[in-house]
A and B are shown apart, each in its own frame.
Chain A
Amino acid sequence: MMNSPDRLTIIRERLTQALSPEKLEVIDDSQHHVGHAGASTGMGHYSVIIKSPQFLGKSLVESHRLIYQALGNLMETDIHALRITILQD
């Protein structure tokens, strides 16, 4: 498990690599969840705001799946919760 700044960097890297986003913002929300059951594991809460040509013509479920797939094992080891906002044109 990584520390928080490293996690943000690797989340950005993986999403950039997989989805070539036109816009990407990754926010660490973990401090808002201190004391909550999921926070005690040391895993983080994050928000992703993203726009990518790869989402064109895809359903919301398919688009979110692409994000989860890009993050891969981080969803098991480092990310407790992920809020996803997909920006449209």
Chain B
Amino acid sequence: MTIRQTIEKQLSENPVVLYMKGTAAFPQCGFSGKAVYLLRQCGVDFMAVNVLEDDDIRQGIKDYGNWPTIPQLYVNGQLIGGSDIMQQLYDSGELHKILSKAHA
């Protein structure tokens, strides 16, 4: 399976996927930690992919979404954004709405 296929599989099988540095329990970067916190605040289940464990995924996800930074949140296969966008959407209440559609 190519990296692109691996990513497509993760996104098709999981409505909410966070590509991050470290694990949800032990984020290795403040921005990834914030992303986990915001998802927890919204009370959703999500799949966390630790890009530090796999350099191919780390580069592959940057290419896949044409987005150069980690973390990246995907909902229903769509790139929602990084931690700044997540914070902005959380503050406006939009993140709750996006996530509730994901699990509907």
Contact B81 A75 (CB under 8 A): no
The A interface is mostly helix, strand or loop, or mixed, namely: helix
The B interface is mostly helix, strand or loop, or mixed, namely: mixed
Query: A8 near B: Cβ within 8 Å?
Result: no
Chain B contacts with A in 40-79, Cβ cutoff 8 A: 66-69, 79
Distance, CA A68 to CA B79, complexed state (A): 15
Distance, CA A68 to CA B66, complexed state (A): 9
Distance, CA A36 to CA B89, complexed state (A): 27
Contact B69 A82 (CB under 8 A): yes
Which A residues lie at the B interface, using CB under 8 A?
Answer: 36-38, 60-61, 64-65, 68, 75-76, 81-85
> Which residue of the partner chain B has the closest CB to A75?
B68
CB distance from B56 to the nearest CB of A (A): 17
> Which residue of the partner chain A has the closest CB to B78?
A61
Interface size on B, residues (CB 8 A): 16
Task: Give the 5 A-B CB pairs with smallest separation, nearest first.
Answer: A75-B68, A60-B85, A84-B84, A68-B68, A61-B81
Contact B28 A64 (CB under 8 A): no
Contact B79 A61 (CB under 8 A): yes
Interface residue from B30, B31, B85, B89 paired with A64 (Cβ < 8 Å): B85
Known: A37-B28, A38-B29, A81-B31. A60 touches B81 (CB 8 A): yes
With a cutoff of 8 Å between Cβ atoms, the chain B residues found around residue A85 in the complex are: 84
Contact B69 A81 (CB under 8 A): yes
CB distance from A68 to the nearest CB of B (A): 5
Contact B85 A61 (CB under 8 A): yes
Subset of 24 A-B contacts with CB under 8 Å: A36-B29, A37-B28, A37-B29, A60-B81, A60-B88, A60-B89, A61-B79, A61-B80, A61-B85, A64-B67, A64-B81, A64-B82, A64-B84, A64-B85, A65-B67, A68-B67, A68-B69, A75-B68, A76-B68, A81-B29, A81-B31, A81-B69, A83-B84, A84-B84
